[in-house]
Chain A
Amino acid sequence: MASIQLSNQHPLDSLIRSDRLPHIWCPGCGIGIIMRCYAQAILESGISQEKHVVVSGIGCSGRVAGYMNIDSYHTTHGRAIPFAVGLKLAKPELMVTVFSGDGDLTAIGGNHLIHAARRNVDIKVVCVNNFNYGMTGGQVGPTTPKGARGTTAPYGNPELPFNLPYLMGAAGANYVSRWTTIHVRQTKDDILHSFNHPGFTFIEVLAPCPIGFGKSNNINDGLEEMELYRDRCVLVSDGDVRAEELTIDLREERPIYVGNFIDRDQPPYRPIHLENAQ
């Protein structure tokens, strides 16, 4: 009779701070899936784990910095990007990834986001878009679809959301994609790809937040939101779809375009370097 070999080890063990488990995330939350993609990409990157650094802001997504077993900085709300810019310019040999939430990166940190993209600083941004402020209890933010409900929009959100790939493309990002938490392999591959794509890269990953967003918007659990992604997601390759159509509205029966939207080869930001500098 064949015997089954049980292992006490997981290939990603070296990348997770197991002494910090259990994590704080809710059942059905999408953040862990994306963190796993990031860890897998680091493992496959061929870049020594000592050279990978993660910088997060504040939020449920921002807690990723605390669970990754690499050099990790959990900074202030919205400021992960400028912190990462300083770190990367001070030590260019590091592979600096900013892992944070939609509210952190695009609301309070929105100004830093567009300027880092404009400068094309060589940092890798992974943005968990769960359409709300999860950590503070399901308030609406700049990614919440118009009409969706949140704890600060009991009558429905009166505002239009950001179309993040469009915004990032216009701001000057070198590489922009969008995936969802059902696209595990694509997300991992794309993060891995971004490590080898110099300049500012931005990967948006749509993720269920059943507690903050689902509850107020008739999405019963994480799985239901994942099914919604599976039904609606349409893969595009660059140029197939007008940028305006990238806007997401989970309440409407319309496609959610995913894939890579911007793939440029602009040289990344380099500080001024003089020939005979001391």
Chain B
Amino acid sequence: MTYRTVLTGKHFMHGDHACAEGAIAAGCRFFGGYPITPSTEIAERLARRLPEVGGVFIQMEDELGSMAAILGASCGGKRVMTATSGPGLSLMMENLGLGVMLEVPCVVVDVQRGSPSTGLPTMPGQSDVMQARWGSHGDYALVAYSPWSPQEMFDLTVLAFNIADRYRVPVLLMTDEVVGHMVERVIIPPEDQIDHWPRKRPTGRPSGSGNGSFKPFSAEEADLVPPMVHAGEGYRLHFTGLTHDERGYPDMTAETHQRLVTRLVEKINRNADQIIRIDPYYMDDAQIVVVAYGCTARSARRAVRLARERGIPAGLLRLVSLWPFPEQLFNQLAANIETFIVAEMNLGQMALEVERVTKRPVKGVFHAGGEMIAPEPILKAIINNE
């Protein structure tokens, strides 16, 4: 029996499985996770698939350990992933912060369910999107994508790995139970058509002396991303979650702290154009803009189509990426558009961002979660706003 790495071809595939296949195709070779509905199928698929491609699957004792283990494996040079849902994401927040601070590439999948607390384990939600942005303590920036279909569970997983490596940052895949458990057509391209952006690596040879002669956190290029050194390469590196200087050494001064934290945030802001993904529908002449993401965007697209049939100039701005928030785009839109409707399966989270950036009152189509928002309430909001 021989095993295939990339399952090139047309499939009728489960969203969680498509995510797992995206990971394998992207070269993920380490998964550490803890079972939780509705993400478990990702772990189950990878428990079967990773050994087939020479990768490591380990079921950890909890999500604290899962997150720590993937960071360790990434420092060993592997592409790494974990998958969870809200309760697990809460536990991962601690070491997500470590990942940001140490600039360790990793992919964290959150198949969202109704929350808070144990909430609705088997039913969808989108109420972790602010936690994704702000859940770990401190000022930081990271990246989050939000797939709306099994196809995107594959495509955005591949992108997530590339962005994580390119910018040395944790990337979250904020999906939901509907998309995770949906079965749809997934086209997996041939292996040579799958993007692979390698990690930036140091060019200088290790001196072997250590003692601060090498600066693993010196970001000399305009993108503010320092090259990544892995364990066992002879650099005698030091990584610490303490505030550190360019040698990686702890430096308990306000100046160094200011410099480091600013760079970590600027690193994402400055490269936002390369990171952000938007999917517009009927936006060219739109006067009413619906903003949605994940499964809710499927209903929003239908609502916008129905509005167009009635001659209402509505458009959909689907947020394929959630973080960093596309401030520039919304700024520009706000110059001409007065009405923004945000549809999301929470009580108004991304709506806060739209409101903040557009400085216009935003109309919300909100639901606490448990069932997908149907097209009708979104259509109603469009009609009422005309």
Does residue B376 face the partner (Cβ distance < 8 Å to A)?
no
The contact of A86 among B69, B102, B210, by CB within 8 Å, is: B69
- Bound complex: CA of A141 vs CA of B275, how far in Å? 45
Looking across the interface, which residue of chain B has its beta carbon closest to that of A85?
B69
- CB proximity to A under 8 Å, residues B28-85: 29-30, 32, 51-54, 56-58, 60-62, 64-66, 68-78, 80
Docked Cα-Cα span, A14 to B38, in Å, equals: 50
- Expressed in whole angstroms, the minimum distance between the Cβ of B145 and any Cβ of chain A is 23
Docked pose: A82 CA to B60 CA in angstroms:
8
Is the pair B54, A20 in contact by a Cβ cutoff of 8 Å?
no
Complex Cα–Cα for A82 and B69 (A): 5
A273 vs B75: C-alpha distance when bound (angstroms): 22
A17 within 8 A of B: yes
Q: By the criterion CB–CB under 8 Å, are A82 and B64 in contact?
A: yes
Judge whether B232 and A83 touch: CB under 8 Å. no
- In the complex, what residues of A have CB within 8 A of residue B195's CB? none
Bound complex: CA A16 to CA B117 (Å): 46
Q: Interface stretch among A87-95, A193-201, A253-261?
A: A87-95
Question: Chain B interface: which of A62-70, A159-167, A215-223, A239-247?
Answer: A62-70
Task: Judge if B98 is at the interface, Cβ distance under 8 Å.
Answer: yes
Which A219-247 residues have a C-beta within 8 angstroms of B? none
B237-295: which residues lie under 8 A (CB-CB) from chain A? Answer: 237-242, 249-250
A20: which of B53, B72, B209, B249 is its contact (CB, 8 Å)? B249
A195 CB → nearest B CB, Å: 15
Segment at the B interface, from A48-56, A150-158, A182-190: A48-56
Name the residue on B nearest A62 (C-beta). Answer: B240
A135 vs B304: C-alpha distance in the bound complex, in angstroms? 59
Which residues of B does A touch, CB under 8 Å?
A: 1-5, 29-30, 32, 51-54, 56-58, 60-62, 64-66, 68-78, 80, 94-95, 97-98, 102, 208-212, 230-242, 249-250
A-B contact pairs, 27 of them (CB 8 A): A17-B210, A17-B212, A53-B232, A65-B240, A66-B250, A69-B211, A72-B238, A74-B241, A75-B98, A76-B98, A81-B68, A83-B75, A86-B58, A86-B80, A87-B72, A89-B56, A90-B56, A90-B76, A90-B77, A91-B230, A112-B65, A115-B60, A271-B56, A273-B54, A276-B2, A277-B54, A278-B2
